Amino acid sequence: MGIEAALPVDGFLPTQLRHVMNWARRSSLWPMPFATACCGIELMATACSRFDLARFGAEVMRFSPRQADLLIVAGRIAVKMLPVLQRIYEQMPEPKWVISMGACASTGGVFDTYAVVQGCDQFIPVDVYVPGCPPRPEQLIEGIMAIQRHIDQEGLPPPGGKRAPLGLVIQPTHAVRPQPVGLTMGS
Ligand code: SF4
């Protein structure tokens, strides 16, 4: 017994193409995991049998950005890795969505240092923030469901067109200086 059992067999289903497209998109999200630290372990657990992300149609992790439409940033982002993250985001086809998972991805977490990006949303657009250190898999699933609700309402094409990242160029926050003490080898 399927959905056809609830529909009139000789009738037709009036709807809008936009709603069908949104329904298809929300039901088959293909995530691109950008997992750099401990939050990545929770991300992996979300796809395992206990939490079974397949129930939400989002279990097909893609490791090519050209095949993904949901970027999940999980873990702290080092300044050196930021250009890689931006490149991956730019290579994903439109429409695309971004989840910032965990305190480190959203704010830098406890790593208030010059080497860690203090929030990936300064450099790529973020649609949903999942709080926690680390967030549990249930929280990530709630974040994915929030993306699904967002897709339901957004329509095709997204209002406002392509979103622009807030900043694409980072400025160094420190100056490289020589070692204060000369290094001597031997006696
Ligand atoms: S938010 Fe916590 S669990 Fe996640 S990467 Fe940072 S330190 Fe690790």
- Tell me if 135 CB under 6 Å of ligand 1: no
- The CATH number, out of the four listed (2.40.50.100, 3.40.50.12280, 2.30.30.90, 3.40.50.740), of the domain defined by the range 13-154: 3.40.50.12280
- Tell me if 103 CB under 6 Å of ligand 1: yes
Mutate to test the pocket of ligand 1, among 104, 110, 118, 136 (most ligand atoms within 8 A of CB): 104
Question: For residue 166, what pLDDT is reported?
Answer: 45
C-alpha–C-alpha distance, residues 128 and 130, integer Å: 7
Question: For residue 157, what pLDDT is reported?
Answer: 46
SS3 128: strand
Question: For residue 169, what pLDDT is reported?
Answer: 45
Antiparallel, parallel or unpaired: β 70-74 and 128-130: unpaired
E strand map for the chain: 31-35, 70-74, 97-101, 128-130
Question: For residue 163, what pLDDT is reported?
Answer: 54
Question: For residue 95, what pLDDT is reported?
Answer: 86
Question: For residue 187, what pLDDT is reported?
Answer: 58
- Tell me if 40 CB under 6 Å of ligand 1: no
